[in-house]
Chain A
Amino acid sequence: MRLFTKFFLCAALIISIALLFSGYLMITFAYESAIERETERAVNQFQYDKFTVQSGLLSGGVNLNDDIPGSLLNSLSSELSGLAVFFAEDKRLIHSDLAPGDAFALPDVQDNRHIMQIQTVNGTHYITVSGKVTHNGGTVYLLMANGIGEVINQKDQMMRRFAQIFFTALLLSMALILTLSFFITRPVKRMDKTASLIAGGRYSERLSVSGGDEIGELSKSFNLMADAVEEKIRELTENARQKEDFIASFAHELKTPLTSVIGYADMLYQRKLPPELVKDAAWYILNEGLRLEALSLKLMDLIILNKQDFVLEEMLSDELFMDIQGGLKPMLDEKNVRMELDIEPAYVMVEYDLFKTLLLNLIDNAIKAGCGTLTITGKRDNDIYRISVSDDGGGIPASELARITEAFYTVDKSRSRRQHGLGLGLALVTRIAEIHGATLSLESVLGKGTTVTLNMVRARGVDYD
């Protein structure tokens, strides 16, 4: 059922009940008050009429045990306030102001009582009050009747007027509700349309927010949700693209050494070669095998990094770097690279092996970039511990910086191949930095060198200088 229909139904129900209930109360109250007023007036007036009859009997010196002269009754009834009916003591009708054939019923009137009744004669309602009039030991019954047709007509008029008011008010209310529900449901319809467009792939669709009411708030929330959805879709698309690139690069990286291995192996199998060529072929097969091994190890590292939860430990930075420096010395000496350390001591939260892998990859990249001097600094900056690895190697073109952390991405592919580079180093570094809650940034000037900066959160231990 449409929201509009629900509004309409509820409004019709509430307005009808409210109007009818108040109408019922008003009409019955007015009607009952009018009847009550007429009753009280009739009872009071009856007492006056009774005194008038008694006075007349007194002045006329009538004995009620005898027949009362008709002329006296006519004279008396003309002085009374309504239609008068007289009954003798034996309840025989002796005078009536009603037309012949019409009659009021005399109720059973006890001494000291007046009986008020509403009686209907010829379709006309009358308030009748009956009582005994006693005089000189005799009794006569007096019944006085006053029409209340006006009161009943008034009630009928009120009913008719109320019907007009009720249906007019209802129609006006319905028109109002119709207009209101149109304005209330319009933004909801717009929201529905926008949601359908977003579901259809138009993620940039947004609602126009107007007003600070619930609908306005809902529109804001809807737009925030649409922002989040769009951002998530963008991330997912980017991830999917990266995965596709990864698989393509991986297939390529796998195919290249395998082609070499298969080619040289086929050559060794098909032909009898001189020992020098056999040695060369074996070297190529060994070299490409080593590349495949390195590839598999790095991939394994990446898979492990994506799956495992690591426990970080509090360590002093200078001790950490001295230890790592000791392990790197043979490699640096072999490559003829000088390493300078400028480390301010501070407690940092690290997983030792992973962090060592991170630094080894950064240093390996620096060596591959042909650096002569490698500078590693560690500086405290409030809650941050900033580690920089700078080299004076060939540097990276600015256009390549954005993609340098993608897996299998290499700046100089031929040089990388020569140096058994896989393009996975910085991807590993980025992942390890994430595991440490650190941020990674790269600055590079082509021909002058590259600086990789790692901002880590300091541990709560007490530092010393």
Chain B
Amino acid sequence: MTKKNALTVSGIILSFAIAIGGWLLTSHLIDVRSDKLLSLTLDVDTNVVTQTASGMASPARPQLTEDEIAGVLRNWNWRYASDVTEKPHEPTDEQLSMEQAVEAAKEWCVFIGGLDIFPGEALRFEKASAYLAQKLLPELSSLFLQPEYSYWSVSLTNESMNARMIINAVTGQVWETQINILRDDIIVSEEGISAALDAFTAALDINFEGNAEVVPVYIPNGIFQTLAPFADGTAYASVTAHGELLEGGRLRVDNLLMYLSAG
């Protein structure tokens, strides 16, 4: 073998040695990086209230203006956008504790029971679950908004129905109620729905125009819906019942929605 050929063969062997050596080095570096990642410890500040306060919701909770409510509702409407993150968090001192939120939800059920839609025993719930969260855009998910943008989602269940209430974490007001009914004896008329809206708007202490209107019934789906806009038009309150339309213009209710919404 000539010297040139020997150098060529050595060069080719060296090339492959470089490639294989480079590969081994890369694998080793990735393993080192992986080991470093797997030994990671993260200390997360949770803004924890050291313990859940016992007792009832404070009657002296601050009231938000219509503008502030509309702003919060616009944020809450993001719940239905796919790129919005729901970020759970611990309550701050200004916000309701879990016990207070659950208590507020139960009190709201008592209020709904007074609307003459549901029989009194139907709204007695044994089991509750709740969480506190905010809706945040992904790019801002590390920055929490003001406390009033947080909401407690409280779910109450019993054998015949389950209710989910969205409660403003600062005011303690229930701004959204969704009741799914598993029994078939809950029947309402259009007037009953209108009366429910009147009661809902009265309970919120918000300035409505007072011209609640009943939207025509949609058949065959069966939807009764009433709307009451805020005086400044930035938001509205609504009571909507879904179910089966019966003779005489009455509705057998499958679920009932009572909510505030922006726009």
Contact = CB atoms under 8 A, between A and B. Distances in A.
Interface of A: 1-2, 4-6, 8-9, 11-13, 16-17, 20, 23-24, 27-28, 31-32, 35, 39, 43-44, 47-48, 51-52, 54-56, 58-59, 107, 111-118, 120, 125, 129, 131-132, 134-137, 152, 155, 159, 163, 166-167, 170, 174
B11 A1 contact: yes
Contact of B23 (A35, A58, A132, A163): A163
A20 B22 CA distance: 7
A115 B130 contact: no
Given A131-B46, A135-B52, A118 B23 contact: no
B47 interface: yes
A44 B12 contact: no
Contacts of A170: 19
B98 A54 contact: yes
Interface stretch (B62-70, B82-90, B178-186, B217-225): B82-90
A118 B89 contact: no
A8 B11 contact: yes
B104 to A, nearest CB: 13
Interface in B119-146: 126-132
B26 A20 contact: yes
Given A12-B16, A12-B19, A131-B46, A125 B130 contact: no
Given A13-B15, A51-B98, A163-B23, A1 B129 contact: no
Interface stretch (B31-39, B107-115, B194-202, B255-263): B31-39
A35 B39 CA distance: 12
Contact of A167 (B19, B25, B38): B19
21 contacts: A2-B8, A5-B8, A9-B14, A12-B19, A20-B22, A32-B33, A43-B44, A48-B131, A51-B131, A52-B129, A54-B98, A54-B130, A58-B102, A116-B43, A116-B44, A125-B38, A136-B51, A136-B52, A136-B54, A137-B51, A167-B19
B231 interface: no
A137 B52 CA distance: 8
Contacts of B4: 1-2
Contacts of B211: none
A58 B99 contact: yes
A44 B12 CA distance: 54
B1 to A, nearest CB: 13
Interface of B: 4, 7-8, 11-12, 14-16, 18-19, 22-23, 25-27, 29-30, 33-34, 37-48, 50-52, 54, 87-90, 98-99, 102, 126-132
Given A52-B129, A112-B47, A131-B46, 6 more contacts: A2-B8, A20-B26, A43-B44, A116-B42, A117-B40, A125-B38
Nearest to B152: A51
Given A9-B15, A51-B131, A115-B41, A166 B126 contact: no
Given A23-B26, A35-B37, A55-B129, A134 B46 contact: no
A12 B15 contact: yes
A27 B27 CA distance: 10
A118 B37 contact: yes
A2 B3 CA distance: 10
B47 to A, nearest CB: 7
B44 A54 contact: no
Nearest to B127: A59
B23 A20 contact: yes
A13 B131 CA distance: 57
Nearest to A23: B26
Nearest to B19: A16
Contact of B15 (A8, A35, A52): A8
A159 to B, nearest CB: 7
A16 B45 contact: no
Contacts of A163: 23
B33 to A, nearest CB: 5
Nearest to A64: B51
Contacts of A43: 42, 44
A135 B53 CA distance: 8
A238 B51 CA distance: 115
A47 B46 contact: yes
B12 to A, nearest CB: 6
Contact of A117 (B8, B41, B52, B102): B41
A107 B41 contact: yes
Contacts of B19: 12, 16, 166-167, 170
